[in-house]
Structure 1
Amino acid sequence: MSLQDQSNSNSVPEKIHALLLRLTPTERQRLLLVTIVSGGLCGLAAVSFHICIDKAEALLINRALAAPHLSWIYWTILTPALGSLFAGLALHYWVPGAVGSGVPQVKLAYALHSGYVSWRDAAGKFILGILQIGSGASLGREGPTVQICAGVSSLLARVTSLSRQNQRRMASIGVAAGIAAAFNAPIAAVTFTLEEIIGDLDQTMLSGVIVAAAIAAVVERGILGQHPVFQMQRAYSMGPASSLVSYAMLGVLSAIVSVIFTDSLLGLRGWFKRFTAVPKWVHPAMGGALTGALAVVGILWLKQDGITGGGYRTLSLALTGSLPAKVLIGLCLLKVAATVCSYSSGGVGGIFAPVLFMGGMLGGAVGYVDVAVLHHSADSIGAFALVGMGAVFAGSIRAPMTSVLIIFEMTGGYGLVLPLMVANMSAFALARHWRRVPVYEALLAQDGIHLPHGKPTAPEKSELELRGEVPP
């Protein structure tokens, strides 16, 4: 290419960049504009990811489950195995940084890489998340949405020449926008970003995080509708004061489930790291086949699906108190096992939705105990399922404020403030006592990465290095 051709090919981006600098001559003005644009684009990305996964599930795993005669058994095992196999190949040869949830990667980027999130990894997460979750892996879309949206914000920060400090800020803004759109929960998105990514109440970050979360939520509601994730048929309340004993017991059991889940996740993940009998790219297929087999067990044993994907449809049944105690307990155990298999084998997907599912099933089961022992109304079983969602989330993710607010916004269950606080804080405190390191930091530590505590400092990297690929 001649110098003249190269000059012409670069003229459009240069003109756009020059126009941006004229419209926003100061860094503060440019940051505000990029924050607004980022909120909108992240909302669109999150909604697109959501819709594509729904379409993929309808095309792949749902068709497998509905196959005639006994062929559904084979297809239910084969579909997630094949989807995970293709994802494993792509991860091995194309985008290794797209593996996993997405939250640990963004925590690492924020703490050590000035908020740099590779656009290539974000694009890979989008495509492979659709493939693997849509084919039946027991994983959620919310974690990948975090990395996708952080990648969008990080790219915008770089192309608009924001400072190193503001590039880091944009990563957290992308996280807030992604969570807000994924859960339709802008308030919880703000607290999650502060608790899990930033690590403290940094007022310099707060305004941008709020603006982006609000804009992303507006975009999500404009496309998908003005309703929470779970549309409750009735408004739950706490009931008799004696029910707090049962909610406290739910908190203790939630802590136990959270620790078992985390330890199992790390244990099997460590085993897969040591397992060399087959190529690494085959590992996700092994996890997919096991997940499919567990889904078959659930349907044959419990006559209920929900093991594949996030399981929100089945979780909605638990929130109405429609599932028997045996089904609730069985689904909780199977979901723990399936999520451990899907994630630890090298899957592309998050643990938010599975954790909420486990909590809903556990909570509903405790609700049956409350009815049998304390003779409270059976109408409260759904309330226990709702509180259980937050309690296992608090014990696993270790974001106590978010664990309360996200349940409010996802369900509208504002009448359960006190039970949520009792169960969630009990689960959080006990899980932290039994296992000091939260799940995301434990996953990074297993890879030999230890995040610094306190506010991160920018590493000494050139602008050229920042624009290149930062190793995951």
Structure 2
Amino acid sequence: MSPKELKFLLRLRVWLSEIIRPNELQVTLFWAGVIGFAGACASVAFRKLTGLVHYAFTQQYSGLVESFEHLRPLQRLYVPAIGGVLAGLTIFLGVRWGRRRSSTDYMEAIVLGDGIISFRSSIVKSLSAMFSIASGASIGREGPLVQLSSMIASLIGRWRKTPTLQLRLLVACGAAAGIASAYNAPIGGALFVAEIILQSLAMESFGPLVFSSVVSTLTVRQLLGEQPLYEIASVHLGSNWEILPLMLLGLVAGLFAPWFLRLLRASERMFSKLALPTYVRLGLGGLIVGLLAIWQPEVCGNGYSVVNEILHGNLLWQALVFILLFKLIATAATFGSGAVGGVFTPTLFVGACLGDLAVHAAQPLWLGTPLNPQVFVVIGMGAFLAATTHAPIMAIIMLFELTLDYQLILPLMLACVIAHYACLAFEKKSIYAESLKRKGGEIYRKQLAELSVADIMKPNPVNVDEDADFRSIAQKFISHRFRYLYVTSVDGGFRGVIALHDVKSNLTQSELAELVIARDLVQEDFPTIAPDASLVEALERFARHDGERLPVTTGANRKLIGSISKSDLLLALAERTKDPHQTADAPSNGAVAVVEG
């Protein structure tokens, strides 16, 4: 590079820093948007491929329930069983191909791990989920969507050599993008990850989650259209007194939720006791779904089309009782057998059924204006979701996004809170609790509370020798985004920093620039921090410093051993402030309960 080119690039670098001045959080926001776009594209691709596999199974492109209604009884029996066997074989064979030391699912990578998600394991899980979903398993597609988005986020972060805490945040952005792309609910997707996984609404983490969710939602709408997930007409309350039966519905949902959770766990324990290969176990789960589908094809899939039928009042309550019973058994069989997918949408299905049955039970006893069944169905979905996830805020926002009707927000808030506390009185663990407990979540929180600067610092920061010439200094600034360049002595001792703007005057004086060395430009009065300092002490040091990084030094000669960034510190402190007693309630294998095979 010629001297003229070097000076031009350095002038450009100084000019950009004066105009734009992006800090690390702003850069994170940019990459959160990139992850949201990539995650949405992966979501669309997965849906298209699943549709093709579904056609291979049923020779139809319609929805799962509609397809199974057109199949002969024998086909209804063997299609889910074959799909389960293929899903199990994918996991069975993929274990050898995908064996790595990195995390196999995104929840573990965010909550417990280092943010690194195995590409091979993610592909294996997604293919397995594709076979299960396409063949009619009673499970949702949101699980693999979130897994793929999070895997892409992990790959992007690793390509950028992102520090661990920021990498985990990027993976969380991928998870939020996956949820948002599945439900067309950007706020709900961001809140799901913030409330259940990160358990923090600090803007350092929540801002990127929102940005990623919104970009993902806009991308999916552009590629697939803006049609809502559930076709809900404008709904309203006949009178404010209707809040009373809706509050009672919240109580019923909260009391029913513990039994639903215990059913899933009992099924999981029962299947785990069977000494069967993975493909046989998943095939057995599919066979149970197939047997139920002979009489009730509505048990197939995540229940999306049936919920729409309920919202339009097309099902008699007597038929709905049997559909709900069969659906509970089918979901338990699919979940317990170890199928990869999500139980988020089946949870909404159960809540919709409870709401519809509740309005039919309350209508004969109600003396006021006729009750609106759609209101009860929507409130039932939100209340049951709040109870099973132990995340009432997320449930309120997500159901509000599905309806966009402010009339429902007050009864929805009351029902979700009542359902949450009613369930909590009988069941302390959410739908995600057991798997995280097995992976050592409480130990991780204890370790996090004991972190020091040395645990989150980046070693070997960019620096120059105090005798370095102006050309070397310029090349360092051009190659890196930092506003301050560390200067060290021959023995590695920290001497100070060179500010980017301090080199500006030398750009117009070429003769002087050739004589200047780092020692001439150094600012010796620059704050440092010791590696054994606490995170609180580091935060106080940053409060008196406008930079994005602090050098970490040790010993009498202040040897430079690393640097700590403000964004990493804020993320670590946000993690540290979580209630350790809530750890067991956080998910580990999917914000949508991704079940490992």
Distance 1:149 1:441 in 2: 23
Relative contact order, higher structure (CA 8 A, sep 6+): 1
The answer for the alignment partner of 1:302 in structure 2 is none
Q: 1:118 to 1:390 in 2, by over 3 A?
A: same
The answer for the alignment partner of 2:141 in structure 1 is 141
Which stretch of the first structure deviates more once superposed, 223-232 or 447-456? 447-456
The answer for the alignment partner of 1:285 in structure 2 is 283
Instruction: Check the 8 A contact 2:143/2:340 in 1, yes or no.
Output: no
Distance 1:340 1:376 in 2: 39
Deviations 1:29-75 (CA, angstroms, capped at 9, x unpaired): 65344222211100111122233334443543585977999971111
Aligned-residue sequence identity (percent) comes to 27
Which amino acid is the alignment partner of residue 273 of structure 1? Answer: S
* Unaligned runs of at least 5 residues, structure 2: 1-19, 459-588, 590-595
Q: In structure 2, which of residues 350, 361, 365 is the aligned counterpart of residue 369 of structure 1?
A: 361
Distance 2:228 2:65 in 1: 27
Q: With the length of structure 1 as denominator, give the TM-score of the two structures.
A: 0.83
User: How far 1:413 sits from its partner (Å)?
Assistant: 3.7
The answer for the alignment partner of 2:209 in structure 1 is 209
Distance 1:443 1:164 in 2: 23
> Following superposition of structure 1 onto structure 2, how do residues 227-266 of structure 1 map, counting pairs within 5 Å?
227-232=227-232, 234-266=233-265
Distance 1:266 1:189 in 2: 25
> Following superposition of structure 1 onto structure 2, how do residues 8-407 of structure 1 map, counting pairs within 5 Å?
30-61=27-58, 63=60, 72-95=72-95, 105-232=105-232, 234-276=233-275, 278-298=276-296, 305-375=297-367, 380-407=372-399
- Three-state SS of the structure 2 residue aligned to 1:323 is coil
User: How far 1:412 sits from its partner (Å)?
Assistant: 2.8
Which amino acid is the alignment partner of residue 286 of structure 1? Answer: L
Which amino acid is the alignment partner of residue 230 of structure 1? Answer: Y
Which amino acid is the alignment partner of residue 389 of structure 1? Answer: M
Instruction: Check the 8 A contact 2:112/2:444 in 1, yes or no.
Output: no
User: How far 1:322 sits from its partner (Å)?
Assistant: 2.3
Instruction: Check the 8 A contact 1:250/1:366 in 2, yes or no.
Output: yes
Which amino acid is the alignment partner of residue 435 of structure 1? Answer: E
Instruction: Check the 8 A contact 1:42/1:178 in 2, yes or no.
Output: yes
Segments of 4+ in structure 1 off by > 6 A?
Answer: 23-26, 64-71, 458-461
User: How far 1:193 sits from its partner (Å)?
Assistant: 1.1
Q: 1:70 to 1:59 in 2, by over 3 A?
A: closer
User: How far 1:227 sits from its partner (Å)?
Assistant: 2.8
User: How far 1:345 sits from its partner (Å)?
Assistant: 0.4
Which amino acid is the alignment partner of residue 167 of structure 2? Answer: Q
- Three-state SS of the structure 2 residue aligned to 1:306 is helix
Which stretch of the first structure deviates more once superposed, 160-169 or 325-334? 325-334
Q: 1:379 to 1:220 in 2, by over 3 A?
A: farther
Distance 2:247 2:206 in 1: 33
Instruction: Check the 8 A contact 1:272/1:283 in 2, yes or no.
Output: yes
Distance 2:288 2:423 in 1: 28
> Following superposition of structure 1 onto structure 2, how do residues 426-441 of structure 1 map, counting pairs within 5 Å?
426-441=418-433
Distance 2:236 2:422 in 1: 25
Deviations 1:162-213 (CA, angstroms, capped at 9, x unpaired): 1112111111111111111111000111111111111121221122111111
Q: 1:262 to 1:456 in 2, by over 3 A?
A: farther
User: How far 1:384 sits from its partner (Å)?
Assistant: 0.7
Q: 1:221 to 1:92 in 2, by over 3 A?
A: same
Deviations 1:317-374 (CA, angstroms, capped at 9, x unpaired): 1112222111222222221111110011010110011001111111011011121211
Q: With the length of structure 2 as denominator, give the TM-score of the two structures.
A: 0.67
User: How far 1:116 sits from its partner (Å)?
Assistant: 2.1
Distance 1:438 1:394 in 2: 10
Instruction: Check the 8 A contact 1:24/1:30 in 2, yes or no.
Output: no
Distance 1:243 1:28 in 2: 46
Q: 1:402 to 1:28 in 2, by over 3 A?
A: closer
The answer for the alignment partner of 1:422 in structure 2 is 414
Which amino acid is the alignment partner of residue 46 of structure 2? Answer: F
User: How far 1:281 sits from its partner (Å)?
Assistant: 2.8
User: How far 1:286 sits from its partner (Å)?
Assistant: 0.6
Check if 1:411 corresponds to 2:403. Answer: yes
User: How far 1:437 sits from its partner (Å)?
Assistant: 1.1
* C-alpha RMSD over aligned residues: 3.2
Distance 2:170 2:287 in 1: 38
